[in-house]
């Protein structure tokens, strides 16, 4: 013990044989010349303690820095494996692999995430892997409306460990390339193409035979039907049905009335999401035909996007229309199960689109102003 106290080591220095120096007062006591030439038990003991310290504590520090969870953030490839274009729905998947006895908290994005429009996002779903770990994942459906190079921001994930501690993890950054649907250099606006006319074989023999058969059968059916109608009318006393009424209301009035009718059906409460989204999109397609004279009922979302690009429809209105149509396509064709609140919100989105695209009414001249103009003219 006295030997250890006699040894002097500089602060924060490594223990080496050259550091084992005895004070001058102790050199004579221990025979310093002989001590410098031969290693002692104390020097060997100190060296062994230093090596043992490195072996015990260095791996502990390295292990403590290894995270318990792994974060992955990637793009779910589309089925057609085509490049992303303006307005396409892009599915981003966030996955966190963590111990089965811990949990993670995944972020929820706003509707506008930097340059990306967030169309939809699923609730976190956790699956056990069978090897002592679990995977929690969440999908984000986003869209971009201008071509170019983009990248996502880092998403922060909170990992709550089994011992009660927590750690913050960051997701990778995803680069995105958006291409235009228009041909480079093509900026000319063109009218919609008419239907193609194909040559047909002579139809007059079939027409003549059809007319003769129709006259023969039609006469008999008309007489029988007229007799049955009069007999039924006499028995039931039903008056003549009214003539069909032509709807002369403006497109926005027709759209508002139809949306109110759809809302009164309350289809989301009955889990009839496909029927609900179909009625809303059909209402907007009829509104597009009445407002912009673009045939929309018989066109797919992709064909309608191309027609919008060749028309004078405002870009903001095109983006809003396509957002609703593509969200509806996910429900109708991709078997996407929306939340009930999102299904109710689709009606509010449709009303806002109709309101934003309805032109301001023209001001009506007051009678006094009209009298003044007539007097000035006279």
Determine what percent of the chain is predicted with pLDDT higher than 90.
46
Q: How confident is the model over 49-105, as pLDDT tens digits?
A: 777 776 665 544 444 444 579 999 999 988 777 888 888 899 999 999 999 999 999
Give the DSSP letter string of 89-135: -EEEEEEEEEETT-EEE-----SEETTEEEEEEPPPEEEE-SSSEEE
State the Rg of the chain over Cα.
Answer: 40
Is residue 275's pLDDT more than 90?
A: yes
Joined tokens for residue 307: 């027609």
Residue 232's pLDDT band, with cuts at 50, 70 and 90, is confident
Residue 329 gets which letter from DSSP? H
Is residue 363's pLDDT more than 80?
A: no
Q: What is the pLDDT of residue 373?
A: 67
Q: What is the pLDDT of residue 250?
A: 93
Q: What helix, strand, coil percent values describe the chain, rounded to 5? A: 45, 15, 40
Residue 19's pLDDT band, with cuts at 50, 70 and 90, is very low
Is residue 9's pLDDT more than 70?
A: no
CA neighbours closer than 13 Å in the CB half-sphere of residue 321: 29
Report helix, strand or coil for 282: helix
Residue 367's pLDDT band, with cuts at 50, 70 and 90, is low
> Which CATH class for the 70-178 domain?
mainly beta
Report residue 332 CA to chain centroid gap: 16
Q: What is the pLDDT of residue 28?
A: 44
**What ranges make up the beta strands (E) of 116-232?**
116-121, 125-128, 133-143, 148-151, 156-160, 166-170, 175-178
Residue 353's pLDDT band, with cuts at 50, 70 and 90, is very high
Q: What gap in Å lies between CA 160 and CA 68, rounded to an integer?
A: 10
> Region 284-290: what's the mean pLDDT?
94
Q: What gap in Å lies between CA 320 and CA 349, rounded to an integer?
A: 8
Phi, psi (deg, nearest 5) at residue 272:
-95, 65
Q: How confident is the model over 175-224, as pLDDT tens digits?
A: 999 888 776 666 666 565 566 676 777 778 888 888 888 888 888 888 88
Q: How confident is the model over 116-139, as pLDDT tens digits?
A: 999 999 999 999 998 999 999 999
Inter-CA distances, 83 with 1, 78, 185, Å? 77, 9, 20
Residue 273's pLDDT band, with cuts at 50, 70 and 90, is very high
* pTM: predicted TM-score of the whole model, two decimal places: 0.39
Q: What is the pLDDT of residue 370?
A: 59
Sketch the domain layout of the chain as residue ranges: 2-64, 70-178, 251-357
- Torsion angle (degrees, nearest 10) of CA 181, 184, 187, 193: -50
Q: What is the pLDDT of residue 104?
A: 94
Q: What gap in Å lies between CA 285 and CA 325, rounded to an integer?
A: 9
């Amino acid at each position: 013990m006295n030997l250890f106290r006699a040894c002097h080591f500089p602060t924060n220095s490594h223990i080496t044989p050259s550091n084992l120096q005895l004070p001058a007062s102790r050199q004579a006591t221990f025979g310093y010349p002989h001590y410098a030439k031969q290693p002692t038990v104390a020097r060997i003991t100190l060296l062994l303690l230093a090596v043992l310290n490195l072996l015990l504590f260095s791996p502990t520090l390295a292990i403590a820095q290894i995270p318990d969870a792994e974060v992955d953030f990637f793009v779910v490839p589309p089925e057609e494996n085509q490049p992303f274009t303006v307005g396409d729905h892009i599915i981003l998947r966030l996955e966190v692999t963590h111990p089965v006895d811990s949990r993670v908290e995944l972020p929820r994005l706003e509707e506008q995430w930097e340059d990306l429009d967030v169309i939809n996002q699923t609730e976190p779903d956790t699956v056990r892997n069978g090897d002592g770990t679990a995977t929690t994942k969440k999908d984000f459906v986003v869209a971009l409306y201008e071509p170019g190079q983009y990248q996502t921001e880092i998403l922060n994930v909170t990992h709550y460990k089994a011992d009660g501690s927590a750690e913050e993890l960051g997701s990778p950054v995803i680069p995105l390339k958006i291409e235009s649907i228009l041909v480079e250099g093509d900026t000319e606006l063109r009218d919609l193409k008419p239907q193609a006319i194909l040559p047909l074989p002579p139809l007059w023999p079939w027409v003549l035979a059809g007319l003769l058969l129709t006259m023969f059968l039609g006469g008999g059916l008309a007489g029988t039907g007229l007799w049955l109608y009069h007999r039924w009318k006499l028995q039931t006393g039903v008056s003549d049905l009214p003539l069909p009424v032509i709807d002369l209301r403006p497109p926005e009035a027709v759209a508002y009335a139809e949306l109110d009718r759809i809302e009164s059906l309350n289809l989301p409460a009955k889990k009839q999401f496909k029927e609900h989204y179909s009625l809303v999109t059909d209402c907007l397609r009829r509104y597009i035909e009445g407002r912009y004279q673009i045939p929309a009922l018989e066109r797919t979302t992709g064909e309608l996007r191309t027609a919008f690009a060749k028309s004078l429809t405002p870009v903001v209105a095109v983006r809003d229309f396509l957002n609703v149509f593509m969200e509806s396509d996910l429900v109708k064709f991709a078997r996407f199960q929306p939340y009930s609140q999102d299904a109710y919100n689709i009606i509010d989105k449709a009303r806002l689109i109709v309101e934003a695209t309805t032109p301001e009414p023209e001001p009506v001249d007051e009678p006094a102003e009209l009298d003044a103009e007539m007097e000035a003219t006279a």
